[in-house]
Amino acid sequence: MSRHDPRVSLRDMLDHAREAVALSRGKTRAGLAKEWVLQLALVRLVEIVGEAATRTYPRENRPSIRESHGPI
């Protein structure tokens, strides 16, 4: 597996998050509920941000919640 420059993934995350904000600007919850194509677009943008986050911070490099916050 090739090493990725984390700045590329972070830039992707920022770009797609900004796009999601731009698409949802001026929309209400009720309006969003009526626009299923917009719903699908926003879900996909959030998925892309999550995928970029996974590339940037692989699971083995993240602390577990139990380690970070004590016993649950």
Q: Which of 50, 34, 41 is nearest to 20 (CA)?
A: 41
More confident site: 12 or 43: 43
Total domains in the chain come to 1
The answer to whether residue 42 sits within a structural domain is yes
The answer to whether residue 68 sits within a structural domain is no
Write out the residue range of the structural domain in which residue 30 sits.
Answer: 6-56
The answer to whether residue 39 sits within a structural domain is yes
More confident site: 67 or 64: 64
The answer to whether residue 67 sits within a structural domain is no
The predicted model scores a pTM of 0.68
Residues whose CB is less than 8 angstroms from the CB of residue 33 and which lie 6 or more positions away in sequence, other chains included: 39
pLDDT in tens, 10-41: 888 899 999 999 999 999 999 989 999 999 99
CA 57 to chain centre: 12
The answer to whether residue 1 sits within a structural domain is no
Written as one letter, the residue type at 65 is: I
The answer to whether residue 19 sits within a structural domain is yes
